[in-house]
């Protein structure tokens, strides 16, 4: 068989269901091999979108998503989405076509050294230089991508190697159990927690990756420790739980800052430092930490680790929960944080201002989605509002890219989320700036008949950049742009298109859109004057 056919058989052995990508000349042997495979190839309208889809599919299933592009511009387009997955710790395997080996020593049409290019944005990458190593390369790519912490890997396949004949077989996937902390370490953690007057848990994305939220919840229930979540850790403890202090991560002063400033011990669990720099919540570096994760902490002056509990999160949390006796704990010192955030959420339920305030959009969206439905936020001013105010019952039900944080992630990710969980409602929340970066994937959603809802917040500009400009310079520059007729645009792609013209229509229109079970686009004007009002309000907080 050809190397390309062997590659596809290796993908099948790994349990791959979808490959997302764009065909090209240098990967036509792989495309032809996929034609006879049970793997479904999802043709996307841009390679970056393909990587966004693969990353989200990997994040939600725990199995590496696979994306494919040709060499040159295809591979460079793919790069952003691969980097996004790697920094968000989503398991992903990227495959690129490449020029034949006889061209690698000289300047050649569309040829770049992709191994060097992908090295900084992947956990591991390799070129298949001989057909015999194909099974090893594929197996290692999947193994490394799915090991903690999850991330991206890359396989580069030259076109002359792809068409060579080879006599090899796929390797069998193997499990790699993680280590657990010693009983002595668990006892040390217990002593530090019992000694602290105001311990606080910081729950990160690793809890969802390890599916360790039941163990965290049991630990919290027994110890009565308050929990604050990172953007990507939202839902580790349900927002309805009285011990949930909801979400941290917005830069500068916020209600949760008072929680961190009052803590004398922070118990960081599954926290990814790229999300929320420790200097934002431990500015004087004086609050000690217990670092509970799958690997040692990144060195950071504002992250003073007093004890590391390393290994499988589920097992270590079970062991930690077992050494405590049930007890009541005084958490009045931090409960005002929760009450202030929820008061803000409740205040805007009946607000009829138009264009709609961000708070109103979020309260209506939260009210119409079920506990396990998925809301996916793109990057922009709406992301900051979604992170602060869209409260989650379960992990991975509010997806926010907060590592690389690339614009354009929401629509492609919504398609992948619906493929991964067809039984759930999926809403992509995006701005008009981020939507235009990958909006062509509306065609992909319609072609696949994927019933997603795209809720676009329209302000005719780059709202988040304007927010930062106003805070720093008290004036905005170069952030406005023109927009097409979005209703006609969405209709041309085959979407049902709806426009919000008054605030009281948003909730019933959302309910109608979800009930249709078809691709729906909603154009919702937003009033981002609330951005600076929030900045002023938060600036007045005194802990």
- Do 68 and 135 fall within a single domain? yes
Is the residue at 176 inside a domain? no
Residue 274 has a pLDDT of: 87
- Do 317 and 354 fall within a single domain? no
- Do 396 and 304 fall within a single domain? no
Query: At 211, is the secondary structure helix, strand, or coil?
Result: coil
Q: What are the residues facing 520 on neighbouring strands? A: 453, 496
Residue 261 has a pLDDT of: 87
- Do 103 and 242 fall within a single domain? no
- Do 24 and 108 fall within a single domain? yes
Of 333, 362, 390, the last residue of a domain is: 333
CB 242, CB 216: distance < 8 Å: no
Is the residue at 92 inside a domain? yes
- Do 401 and 483 fall within a single domain? yes
Is the residue at 341 inside a domain? no
Q: pLDDT (tens digit, 0 to 9) for every residue of the chain, 543 residues total?
A: 999 999 999 999 999 999 999 999 889 999 999 999 999 999 999 999 999 999 999 999 999 999 999 999 999 999 999 999 999 999 999 999 987 877 788 777 778 899 999 999 999 999 999 999 999 999 999 999 999 999 999 999 999 999 999 999 999 998 888 899 999 999 999 999 999 999 999 999 999 999 999 999 999 999 999 999 999 999 999 999 999 999 987 766 677 877 888 899 999 999 998 888 999 899 999 999 999 999 999 999 999 999 999 999 999 999 999 999 998 888 887 888 888 888 877 888 889 999 999 999 999 999 999 999 999 999 999 999 999 899 999 999 999 999 899 999 999 999 999 999 999 999 999 999 999 999 999 999 999 999 999 999 999 999 999 988 998 999 999 999 999 999 999 999 999 999 999 999 999 999 999 999 999 999 999 999 888 887 777 665 555
- Do 188 and 222 fall within a single domain? yes
Q: Which domain holds residue 354?
A: 348-539
CA distance 269 to 375: 24
Number of domains in the chain: 3
Helix runs in 287-409, H state only: 313-322, 332-347, 358-368, 381-389
- Do 386 and 309 fall within a single domain? no
Residue 539 has a pLDDT of: 61
What's 318's domain CATH number?
3.40.50.1220
Residue 352 has a pLDDT of: 93
- Do 390 and 505 fall within a single domain? yes
Q: What are the residues facing 201 on neighbouring strands? A: 227, 267
Residue 534 has a pLDDT of: 78
Residue 543 has a pLDDT of: 56
Residue 332 has a pLDDT of: 83
Is the residue at 21 inside a domain? yes
- Do 496 and 526 fall within a single domain? yes
Is the residue at 303 inside a domain? yes
- Do 50 and 123 fall within a single domain? yes
CA distance 232 to 217: 17
CA distance 164 to 259: 61
Of 97, 131, 162, the last residue of a domain is: 162
Is the residue at 195 inside a domain? yes
Other beta carbons less than 10 A from residue 159's beta carbon: 22
What's 108's domain CATH number?
3.40.50.970
Is the residue at 241 inside a domain? yes
Is the residue at 167 inside a domain? no
- Do 367 and 474 fall within a single domain? yes
CB 266, CB 282: distance < 8 Å: yes
Integer distance in angstroms from the first to the last C-alpha of the chain? 68
Residue 542 has a pLDDT of: 53
């Amino acid at each position: 068989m050809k190397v390309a056919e062997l590659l596809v058989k290796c993908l099948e052995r790994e349990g791959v269901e979808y490959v997302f990508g764009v065909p090209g000349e240098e990967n036509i042997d792989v495309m032809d091999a996929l034609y006879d495979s049970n793997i479904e190839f999802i043709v996307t309208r841009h390679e970056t979108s393909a990587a966004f889809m693969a990353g989200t599919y990997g994040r939600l299933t725990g199995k590496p998503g696979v994306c494919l592009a040709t060499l040159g511009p295809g591979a460079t387009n793919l790069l952003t989405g691969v980097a996004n997955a790697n920094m968000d710790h989503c398991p992903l395997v990227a495959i690129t076509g490449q020029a034949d080996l006889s061209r690698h020593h000289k300047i050649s049409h569309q040829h770049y050294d992709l191994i060097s290019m992908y090295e900084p944005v992947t956990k591991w990458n390799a070129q298949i230089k001989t057909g015999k190593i194909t099974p090893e390369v594929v197996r290692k790519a999947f193994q490394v991508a799915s090991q903690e912490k999850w991330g991206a890997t890359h396989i580069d396949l030259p076109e002359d190697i792809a068409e060579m004949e080879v006599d090899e077989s796929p390797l069998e996937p193997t499990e790699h159990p993680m280590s657990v902390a010693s009983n002595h370490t668990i006892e040390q953690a217990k002593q530090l927690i019992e000694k602290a007057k105001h311990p606080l848990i910081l729950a990160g994305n690793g809890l969802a990756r390890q599916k360790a939220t039941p163990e965290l919840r049991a630990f919290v229930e027994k110890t009565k420790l308050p929990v604050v979540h990172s953007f990507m850790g939202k839902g580790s403890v349900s927002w309805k739980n009285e011990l949930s202090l909801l979400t941290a991560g917005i830069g500068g002063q916020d209600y949760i800052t008072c929680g961190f400033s009052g803590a004398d011990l922070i118990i960081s669990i599954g926290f990814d430092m790229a999300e929320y720099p420790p200097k934002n919540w431990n500015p004087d570096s004086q609050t000690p930490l217990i670092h509970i994760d799958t690997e040692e902490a990144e060195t950071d002056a504002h992250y003073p680790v007093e004890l590391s509990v390393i290994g499988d999160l589920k097992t270590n949390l079970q062991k930690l929960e077992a050494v405590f006796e049930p007890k009541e704990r005084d958490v009045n010192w931090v409960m005002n944080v929760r009450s202030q955030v929820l008061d803000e959420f409740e205040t805007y339920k009946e607000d009829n201002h138009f264009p709609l305030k961000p708070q109103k959009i979020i309260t209506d969206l939260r009210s119409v989605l079920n506990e396990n439905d998925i809301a996916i936020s793109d990057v922009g001013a709406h992301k900051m509002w979604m992170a602060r105010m869209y409260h989650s019952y379960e992990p991975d039900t509010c997806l926010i890219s907060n590592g690389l944080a690339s614009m354009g992630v929401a629509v492609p990710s919504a398609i992948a989320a619906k493929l991964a969980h067809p039984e759930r409602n999926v809403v992509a929340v995006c701005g008009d700036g981020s939507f235009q970066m990958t909006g062509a994937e509306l065609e992909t959603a319609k072609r696949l008949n994927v019933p997603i809802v795209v809720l676009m917040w329209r302000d005719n500009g780059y709202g988040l950049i304007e927010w930062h400009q106003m805070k720093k310079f008290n004036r905005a520059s170069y952030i406005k742009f023109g927009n097409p007729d979005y209703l006609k645009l969405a209709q041309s792609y085959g979407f049902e298109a709806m426009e919000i013209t008054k605030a009281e229509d948003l909730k019933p229109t959302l309910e109608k859109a979800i009930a249709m079970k078809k691709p729906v686009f909603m154009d919702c004007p937003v009033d981002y004057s609330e951005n600076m009002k929030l900045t002023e309000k938060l600036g007045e907080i005194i802990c």
